[in-house]
Structure 1
């Protein structure tokens, strides 16, 4: 399973890089073609709608996204959405309709791809480990942590790369390039099998799992997902808050640049270590507790403003904590769920965290305008600390006993003992200990 896992991780990394480069190019195309500043945010705004509602409309689709071939089909839809704007630009007809259509189509693809990619990584790593294969990443938790590292690396270098390419190539050619990259990644995904080696036939598809039902059935997963959702909802306090504070202190752009640089560098550094240690972390306590560290960093930022070094260091504290929480939550989901439940749980994580961040940005500007950037930063930090404290109390109660074994009918492959020696051929898989 090593080669499919490497392929899946590498090409999802390329699509993430392309998505961030596209985020730089698309507003420029919209502005150049329409001459209206309000049109620059249409694609991004419309792409958020499918994400917020994917738990409803995607329920029947995510059960089929269990192989690389299925992911490749979704990537083709994504490429078609990306091509809408440059095609319209060729005809000189970029307008609100084409921008909205591009946002909706790419948003549908992104809302399906993110949870499906994480679930397939967990499935493949789980099956490979149970079969005794030595993989480069090890357990599902480690492979998911490597994937998160790739995600964070793309966040650091892709936006400045996009800005440089826009200057050298122009935004139109860059969008065509991104479309070609997605098509190439779709072709490579055809070589990635499912955990069972094939996609389910029509009659084999299990009843779609409802997100709410899955979270109620797995309370520890629900606690981790909801806490991460609170963190996403409060994210605007950091980005918008530092941007506004920079203007108020006569340093426009400087504070947010220092904060994002410190946060990003520390998060990448922590992500380099997280895959090596994630299997030793207490799952729920780590998934919940790290958001308290981020909240404390938010609350401390107004104290160090406008010192750029202080802003960078405090932001780095939050950035160093976040990857551990995400790695622990992904590990918790991969270990406590399987099949349709696993895909529903990853969907819930995506909707609450990423959707919460979008919702926070939508209302955050108004809150900062009413109460001020400093008080809002402190408030968003306090909310995250309070959510983490409540989550830790629930974690303490749930952690007082080992989780019950998953019912035999769920069909999860039993996890392997991920040691350095390969399991002997034909040896039985160890029983599921539930932890």
Structure 2
């Protein structure tokens, strides 16, 4: 399990380093601003179409060598750009091809890695899977905060070209790390079984479905923070200052939250934690435009939003881990991956038009209200029918936590089993 955690951190760190250099090299060698986003855009196409082509591949990743092979394909996508850039022959074709290869590999490997980590954690003991996923989120956030400053220093000292190989080297190293992880047995189902469709899995697990829906809405409206603060700063005569303060505060808060979440996530109620996280983040979005006169206040409020977000994501991972296993677990993690990354991509794609229509300040207010209202409505839809069933003495829903007599299950936040 430690090998998987280390491998994911190494690969993410390499990605963060290359993300800084790639737009510079793409602009320099193609002469087109449009080309700077082609890798991310092409990768998004592969991600959003993955529910139609990736399911069977994803369900076959039940061992370290299989995951290492997918990472090898991902490295091939990075090499496509790195070699062309080194030879000073980078074109739009290289960028699109690289994005499609990398997007396809991450669409298959990302959810499978989380499922593999959760399954291995289940074998070790109760609560280990949930904490391992929380540690993985911490590694992700460390790379997000530490990667760009390191990359900026390298660019100023040695130029952008050395960083073009960072993600290739990092992913190959990650592949070497996970290759030593042996095959593990699925708790339910078999490797040859036909996986159920995502909607069938989510229909059978309403808590998981509502959590993923909250995440999709939340990450769609992320543009209100990322783009809204940048535009609001330009409109108020302080270009770059508001977004820098907001991102710095959010980043530090999310690091603190990610470091704390693994210690307490198994003791937190899942649905209230998810709902609270998105409500607080929504309140943060709503309040930020009123704090634009004080960079310190804006950073502190952003830090609060950053601190609670990892708890909500950890609670969602806990819900997936507790309520699913085997093939269904991979499908649920894939749905989470598409909802989060896809929602964010669509938000960033359409966010500029929304801000142009409503204005930066109004967009942030609307985003905040949506982030507060949607989780409350979704949670009410899930919890109220269950309470009515309990009051009438009917059988619990299919997604209810396991009873103490089911010795094979993983203990939930309440400590049952």
Superposition misfits of 4+ residues, deviation over 6 angstroms: 405-408
Shift of 1:32: 1.3
Which residue number in structure 2 is paired with residue 355 of structure 1? Answer: 342
Instruction: Tell me what 2:145 maps to.
Output: 156
Partner of 1:75: 71
Distance 2:20 2:174 in 1: 21
Q: How many Å apart are 1:187 and its aligned residue? A: 1.3
Q: Provide the residue aligned with 1:425 in structure 2.
A: none
Check the 8 A contact 2:14/2:169 in 1, yes or no: no
Take 1:186 and 1:220, find their aligned partners in 2: how far apart are those partners?
34
How far did residue 207 of structure 1 move?
0.6
1:235 corresponds to: 222
Distance 1:214 1:30 in 2: 41
Match of 1:310 among 286, 291, 297: 297
How many Å separate the matches in 2 of 1:297 and 1:273?
20
SS of match in other structure, 1:355: helix
> Equivalent residue of 1:61, what SS?
helix
Match of 1:88 in 2: 84
SS at match of 2:56: coil
Change (3 A) 1:326 1:417: closer
Partner of 2:393: none
Is residue 187 of structure 1 aligned with residue 149 of structure 2?
no
User: Counterpart in 2 of 1:12?
Assistant: 8
Offset at residue 76 of structure 1 (A): 0.3
What residue in structure 2 maps to residue 414 of structure 1?
Answer: 408
1:32-86 Cα shifts (integer Å, max 9, x gaps): 1112221111111111111112122111111111211111011001110001112
| Corresponding position: 1:166 with 2:160 | no
1:204-353 → structure 2 map (5 Å cutoff) = 204-353=191-340
How far the C-alpha of 1:111 sits from its partner, in A, is: 1.6
Pairing partner for 2:49 from 22, 47, 53: 53
2:288 is paired with a residue whose SS is helix
**Are the equivalent residues in 2 in contact too, given 1:25–1:174 (CA < 8 A)?**
yes
Question: Does the 8 Å contact 2:119/2:129 carry over to 1?
Answer: yes
Count of aligned residue pairs for this structure pair: 403
Paired residues of 1:17 and 1:154 also in contact (CA < 8 A):
yes
Distance (whole Å) between structure 1 residues aligned to residue 232 and residue 64 of structure 2: 45
Partner-residue secondary structure (3-state), 1:71: helix
TM-score (norm: length of structure 2): 0.92
The CA distance in 2 between the partners of 1:174 and 1:413, in whole Å, is 50
For residue 37 of structure 2, the aligned residue among 38, 41, 44 is: 41
Paired with 2:99 and 2:225, the residues of 1 have a C-alpha distance of 26
Q: Whole-Å Cα distance in 2 between the matches of residues 222 and 405 of structure 1? A: 10
How has the CA–CA distance of structure 1 residues 48 and 119 changed in structure 2, closer, same or farther, with 3 Å as cutoff? same
The answer for unaligned runs of 5 or more in structure 1 is 131-137, 419-432
> What's the counterpart of residue 147 of structure 1?
136
Cα distance in 1 for residues equivalent to 2:253 and 2:350: 28
Q: Is contact 1:25–1:175 with CA below 8 Å preserved after alignment? A: yes
Q: Does the aligned pair in 2 maintain the 1:295–1:381 contact within 8 Å?
A: yes
State the 1:287 CA deviation. 1.7
Partner of 2:125: helix, strand, or coil?
helix
Shift of 1:90: 3.6
- Shift of the alpha carbon at 1:416? 5.5
Change (3 A) 1:182 1:413: farther
Aligned equivalents of 1:52 and 1:111: distance in 2? Answer: 9
1:125 aligns with 2:114: no
TM-score w.r.t. length of structure 1: 0.88
- Change in Cα spacing, 1:120 to 1:193, as seen in structure 2 (3 Å) is same
State how far apart, in whole Å, the 1-side matches of 2:107 and 2:282 are. Answer: 27
Q: Which residue is 1:111 aligned to?
A: 107
Displacement of 1:15 in angstroms is 0.6
> Which whole-Å deviations, capped at 9, do the CAs of 1:226-274 have from their partners, x for residues lacking one?
0111001110000000000110111111100100111110111011111
1:289 alignment partner, SS class: helix
